[in-house]
Amino acid sequence: MKKLLATLSIVFGLVSTPVSAAPSLIPTPPQLSASSYILMDAYTGDVLVSHNADEALPPASLTKLMTAYIIEYELARGNLSFSDQVSVSEKAWRMEGSRMFIREGTRVSLEDLMRGIIIQSGNDASVAAAEYVAGSESAFADLMNQHAQLLGMKNSHFVNATGFPAEGHYSSAHDLAKLSRATILQFPENYKMYAEKEFKYNNIKQPNRNKLLWRDKTVDGLKTGHTEEAGYCLAASAVRNGTRLITVVMGTKSDQARATESQKLLDYGFRYYETRKLYSRGQVVNNAKVWGGSQSNVKVGFAEDVLVTIPRQQGDSLPATLDMTKEITAPIAVGDILGKVIVGTDGNILLEQPVVALEAVEEGGFFKRMFDKIRLFFAKLF
């Protein structure tokens, strides 16, 4: 690789002023009264605060985040529809704990079941949906574990769709944050359900147990959980001024405590950090030389928006360098990786992002290829 630019941010308009010389002053994160917790930037996946975040713990009804995720996954692929009518089994009807009060032998729309899972935390709704998707709750649990593996949830194993206490049923704050992030980014339309404050079914109106939905207008999800073993848990997300954060707090002592402790993390994160967009999808950052091609140059840029999480006191600019492949030869396909951008300093690299071909370049004719080979030979000599 070859370093082409030492001040990419100035050349390509990432920012227009030098990096502030003042250091970033960020206080120690709050210490929460919880067994485990994490604060994550939803857009970048960066972890800002964590405590025992990879410890495997009983997740209680935070399990239903995975139950809902799988339903959303199948909806997105056209395998399910919200209008599907789901038969309620005796097992679903007999479920104890939090319920949406569906009746055995009746048929309930999948959309109502989703609200029952997300808003009312219904164990009966979760089992009915699991049986509909996979044929049985145990088969659905297998599906949950497959999705967990795909999402990189390394400290999770699911035995049921509800979070009802069971041997070998566990997850971690970090894993549940990853799952929450996937839900938010992959299914933004369905995510709106997580902000609904109440749901009425069978003439019974029940409120969402997430107290932050009433206390903080920037909060729009996600899910509560509680068992004697797990304590009081909460996965929450909020968005302020273009920055979205996710918190997962596990093992607090009360409904009030899980909301209060989660609010502490959110307020800390929004006060001291921000998500900044550095480059846009398709933005050209270089017009690179191509050897042996039908054209002499190729536009190089980004396949997706490039975002970074930084302290708010970082200053108005970020140093960036562009490393390009020394010899780029045709043919080139759209999306071929041709180098990378490194944002930050040697002692504090914030991210490395591939730069790709934004256009295809076919091989040139015989004489063009031979001519470029000769030119490249002499270029290497000197």
- For 333-376, how does the pLDDT look when each residue is reduced to its tens digit (9 = 90+)? 999 999 999 988 877 788 899 999 999 999 878 777 777 677 76
Q: What are phi and psi of 8, to 5 degrees?
A: -60, -35
Q: Kindly name the residue from 9, 64, 126, 211 that is annotated as catalytic.
A: 64
Query: For this structure, is 121 an active site residue?
Result: yes
Contact 235, 180 (CB under 8 A): yes
Q: Which amino acid is at 266?
A: L
pLDDT at 195 over 50: yes
Q: Where in the chain is the domain with CATH 3.40.710.10?
A: 57-212
The residue count for the chain: 382
Residue 312 is predicted with a pLDDT of 85
As a whole number, mean pLDDT of residues 243-250 equals 98
- Give the end-to-end CA distance of the chain in Å, rounded to a whole number: 18
- Distance of alpha carbon 148 from alpha carbon 93, whole angstroms: 27
Q: Is the pLDDT of residue 16 over 70?
A: no
DSSP 8-state symbol, 283:
-
Cβ contacts of residue 203 below 8 Å, gap of 6+? none
For residue 381, the model assigns a pLDDT of: 65
CA 278, CA 217: separation in Å to the nearest integer?
28
Q: Which of 9, 35, 36, 61 is catalytic?
A: 61
CATH 2.60.410.10 intervals, the chain: 2-20+278-381
Q: What's the CATH superfamily of 2-20+278-381?
A: D-Ala-D-Ala carboxypeptidase, C-terminal domain (2.60.410.10)
Instruction: Kindly tell me the burial class for residue 321, based on how many C-beta atoms sit within 10 Å of its own C-beta (0-12, 13-18, 19 or more).
Output: middle
Position 1 pLDDT exceeds 90: no
Q: Above 80 in pLDDT, residue 34?
A: yes
Residue 64 is among the residues annotated as catalytic for this protein: yes
What backbone phi and psi angles, to 5 degrees, belong to 219?
-85, 135
Lowest-confidence pick of 2-16, 20-34, 220-234, 288-302: 2-16
Residue 283, CA distances (Å) to 102, 275, 355 in order: 52, 19, 10
Calpha distance 131→138 (Å, rounded) = 9
Q: Fold for 57-212, please state it.
A: Beta-lactamase (3.40.710)
CA distance 353 to 119: 38
Q: For residue 112, is pLDDT > 80?
A: yes
Residue 117 in contact with residue 129, Cβ under 8 Å?
yes
In tens, the pLDDT along 136-180 reads 999 999 999 999 999 999 999 999 999 999 999 999 999 999 999
- Report the C-alpha dihedral over residues 324, 327, 332, 333, rounded to 10 degrees: -30
Q: Catalytic site residue 264?
A: no
pLDDT of 11 higher than 60: no
